[in-house]
Amino acid sequence: MIVAKFGGTSVADAGAIARLARIVGSRAADRPVVVVSALAKVTDALLALAPLVHAGDAAGLDTAIAALLDRHAATARSLPGAEGVIPAIAEDAAALRRELGAAFGRMLRPAELDAVAGRGELWSSRVVAAALEGAGLAATWVDIRPLMVTDDRYGRATPQMQALTARARECLRPLADAGRIPVTQGFIGATAEGTPTTLGRGGSDFTAALLGAALGARRVEIWTDVNGLMTADPRIVPSARTLRAASYEEAAELATFGAKVLHPATAQPLVRAGIPIVVLNSTCPDDPGTIVEPSAELERLGDSPVRSISWKRGITVVNVRAPRMLGAHGFLRAMFEVFERHEVVVDVLASGEVSVSLTVEDRSRLDAVVRDLSELGDVWIESGRAIVAVVGIGMRSTPGIAARLFRAVQPANVEVISQGASAINVTFVVREEDGPGVVRRLHQEFFGTC
Ligand code: ADP
Ligand code: ASP
Ligand code: MG
């Protein structure tokens, strides 16, 4: 079996879905399980309903939901044989309108927000399953929620691998054995009690990987709008090149620090079984893409030991200065306990004799974190920052990288520098407005173009 995941742009409209059908048809012998995202931008549009509910804007809500329904209906109508799904989507859109109407004038609770956000995948998967049928492929729409059992951390729920493995095998294998192609949703799951959850933005890649691991798939294909994992985001560096290969570790580092092409957790479920991920372009299906696997050979990208450069904006640096820290034990533990207590994720850490700097992305609980940290020392925060990550297995064995790197970054001011224990990345913080320029200069330094 293989798992083939199609992202938002790969199901954006009827043309994209027709291409998807051709790609899936070409893989029929591999017994594919198809995972889809919502149509491009639909998750954003669904989340944008929440402020309308809060404002009690009934007319705005009607218009927005009608626009979403129209888009799905128009897409289905343009695909041979797919029109039959429109009533089911219309019925669910009406149910959504009723649910939201009942919440008028207040903020949606996290659980309610997940139930709203997940609609995009439920609708797109219906259209795709019908389109595959219309294209002569034996597709079966599968609701992933009873399989993808998660905890109740709404907005970033954690799946239970054991339940998923048992249920995916029980439900999806017989379909594949019978020559059918299951079509299911990325991004969503449900608690054991059946309350809908989501795995976090961009989570469909993670779904595909989880299913790949559960089913012991031969590979997980991630179909997207670029030719694979590239030397930098092509939106920042138009001359970025596609990598033929990368290791799980490199892919995870790049994704964690902003390479949106893969969700940061994608490689995680696949490591143990060594199942490869192949990142492919749904508009150029014959392109070989990037293979992400344990033993990715180092290819020669010029003479560069660097594989790729990523960056992530919206970062806040939290600094703690505590003269008492000098020679004291237990300080770091006390500090990390604060972050743990408030469930705030720390991305990058740099420590000196009497001060520590950490970066966080989620500002929602920052005030509470700062208050608690103030009991340990002087605390100050710097916002509007970006993390830049330079990643490559080859950096481990190449001297002089740091010197080249920091020379290239100039004149931008570098704030927090860190290197992971595996020595395959160097990360540092710059001002947000300096980020794109820094990425371009680094690309020029290590790949000769920008
Ligand atoms: P999908 O909707 O298919 O999941 P995403 O928009 O989530 O697609 O991810 C694809 C985008 O990731 C690309 O269009 C590209 O702009 C961006 N991206 C960022 N960094 C990289 C990188 N290093 N390699 C490839 N794409 C990247
Ligand atoms: N549709 C979801 C999102 O936009 C999940 C995904 O596309 O991976 O975040
Ligand atoms: Mg994505």
Number of neighbouring beta carbons within 10 Å of residue 48: 12
Our CA angle for 375, 377, 380, nearest 5°, is 105
Indicate if ligand 2 lies below 6 Å from the C-beta of 204.
Answer: yes
Residue 209 Cα to ligand 1 middle (Å): 17
Q: Which two tokens stand for residue 306?
A: 């660097």
In this predicted structure, the answer to whether residue 31 has a pLDDT above a threshold of 70 is yes
Nearest residue (by CA) to ligand 1, atom 1, is: 7
List, for residues 371-392, the tens digit of each pLDDT value: 999 999 999 999 999 999 999 9
In this predicted structure, the answer to whether residue 396 has a pLDDT above a threshold of 70 is yes
Report how far residue 450's alpha carbon sits from residue 446's, in angstroms, rounded to the nearest whole number: 10
Atom of ligand 2 nearest to the CA of 201: 9
Antiparallel, parallel or unpaired: β 149-150 and 32-36: unpaired
Residue 227 Cα to ligand 1 middle (Å): 10
Q: Which residues pair with 380 in a beta bridge?
A: 319
Q: Which two tokens stand for residue 259?
A: 């390479």
**Segment among 23-37, 105-119, 415-429 with least mean pLDDT:** 415-429
Report how far residue 424's alpha carbon sits from residue 440's, in angstroms, rounded to the nearest whole number: 20
Nearest to 99 by CA among 135, 65, 147, 143: 65
Residues 6+ apart with CB under 8 A from 400: none
pLDDT for 265: 96
Report how far residue 310's alpha carbon sits from residue 308's, in angstroms, rounded to the nearest whole number: 7
DSSP assignment of 260-324: TTS-TTSSGGGTTTT--EEEEETTSTTS--EEE-TTPPPP-BTTBS--EEEEEEEEEEEEEE-GG
| pLDDT level of residue 261 (50, 70, 90 thresholds) | very high
In this predicted structure, the answer to whether residue 296 has a pLDDT above a threshold of 70 is no
List, for residues 147-192, the tens digit of each pLDDT value: 999 999 999 999 999 999 999 999 999 999 999 999 999 999 999 9
pLDDT for 398: 84
pLDDT for 301: 55
Indicate if ligand 2 lies below 6 Å from the C-beta of 201.
Answer: yes
Nearest to 349 by CA among 339, 341, 431, 394: 339
Residue range 26-36: average pLDDT? 97
Residue range 342-352: average pLDDT? 91
For the chain, give the mean pLDDT: 94
Indicate if ligand 2 lies below 6 Å from the C-beta of 289.
Answer: no
Residue range 418-422: average pLDDT? 82
Residue 263 Cα to ligand 1 middle (Å): 10
In this predicted structure, the answer to whether residue 143 has a pLDDT above a threshold of 70 is yes
Atom of ligand 2 nearest to the CA of 263: 8
pLDDT for 24: 98
Report how far residue 60's alpha carbon sits from residue 51's, in angstroms, rounded to the nearest whole number: 10
More confident residue, 298 or 236: 236
Phi, psi of 288, deg, nearest 5 = -70, -20
Residue 233 Cα to ligand 1 middle (Å): 7
**Mutation test of ligand 1: which of 204, 205, 261, 442 has the most ligand atoms closer than 8 Å to its C-beta?**
261
Phi, psi of 425, deg, nearest 5 = -150, 150
DSSP assignment of 92-130: HHHHHHHHHHTTTTSPPPHHHHHHHHTHHHHHHHHHHHH
pLDDT for 305: 85
pLDDT for 394: 85
In this predicted structure, the answer to whether residue 326 has a pLDDT above a threshold of 80 is no
